[in-house]
Amino acid sequence: MAGTVHPTAIVDPGARLGEGVVVGPYNVIEADVVIGSGCEIGPFCRFGSGTVVGARNRFESHCSVGAPPQDLKYAGEATRLEIGDDNVFREFVTLHRGTPGGGGVTTIADKSLFMAYAHVAHDCNVGSQTVFANGATLAGHVEVADFATIGAFSAIHQFCRVGTHAFLGGFTVATKDCLPFMSTVGSRPAKCFGPNTIGLERKGFSVESRDALKQMWRLLRSKKLNTSQAIERIEKELGGQQDVDCVLEFIASSERGVILR
């Protein structure tokens, strides 16, 4: 299928558009931009140099894609934003390139939804099938694993991680890592409220897996055990269960600490 470029759009000759790309009115696509086949770009979007977009992504309108990072140390170096396939970016979403000090690239994988005004800062790595509700914001160097949901107007502190299948409620301020499979809600301090049981059930997690996560959570929040003692009990009683092991590995690898209670 042949693509179309609206006559009011400005596309640099150094940009590359794949087959079937639709560029709406008043867009700006700079040099060294690659946009994959089947993408749809609504009006008033800007794609900055160093942006690589995969196939079948949709940009609704007024998106800023691959703008320079908001970092005072940044001095105009060539850095990247890499986006996978089948994502949806709604109105006024902002996505920034990486910085030399953070590896030079911001990455977004596949099949995610970014609602209006969501923001992904420099050097972030976002997995597949995530959901960013309206105004969800990542500071620099944040990692968001597959299947995570970031609630409306939530903010994730720089260098924090959000685990797989994690759920963050609206207006959450996360200054530590957010556990996989768990619901984390609140502002200064945010608190973990245990497994997102309804969400996990909807996603097809087995009863056995959900029960193991619940047992793990009871031990983690026990007033009779500190975190180290709880982890020892979990390893002894629930070790080998895939999702439980995932949480234990996440805790062990945390550099900022995790949000528990």
Let me know if 135 is a catalytic residue: no
Q: Which of 24, 38, 140, 151 is catalytic?
A: 140
Let me know if 12 is a catalytic residue: no
- Cβ contact 116:93 at 8 Å: yes
Q: Which of 96, 119, 122, 141 is catalytic?
A: 122
Q: Which of 123, 141, 163, 243 is catalytic?
A: 123
- Cβ contact 170:188 at 8 Å: no
Give the SS3 label for residue 34: strand
Q: How many CA within 13 A on the CB side of residue 261? A: 10
Instruction: Give the largest Cα separation in the chain, rounded.
Output: 69
∠ CA 213-157-178, nearest 5°, is 0
Beta bridge pairs of residue 34: 16, 52
The structure tokens 């994959």 sit at: 36
Let me know if 157 is a catalytic residue: no
CA pair distance 40, 58, nearest whole angstrom: 5
The residues, ordered by sequence, that sit 6+ positions from 82 with a Cβ below 8 Å of its Cβ are 52, 105, 106, 107, 108
- Please report, as a single letter, which amino acid is at residue 181: F
User: How many residues make up the chain in this entry?
Assistant: 261
Strands (DSSP E) found in 68-157: 80-83, 88-89, 94-96, 105-108, 113-114, 119-120, 125-126, 131-132, 137-138, 143-144, 149-150, 155-156
Tokens of 75: 């001095």
Instruction: Give the catalytic positions in this structure.
Output: 122-123, 140
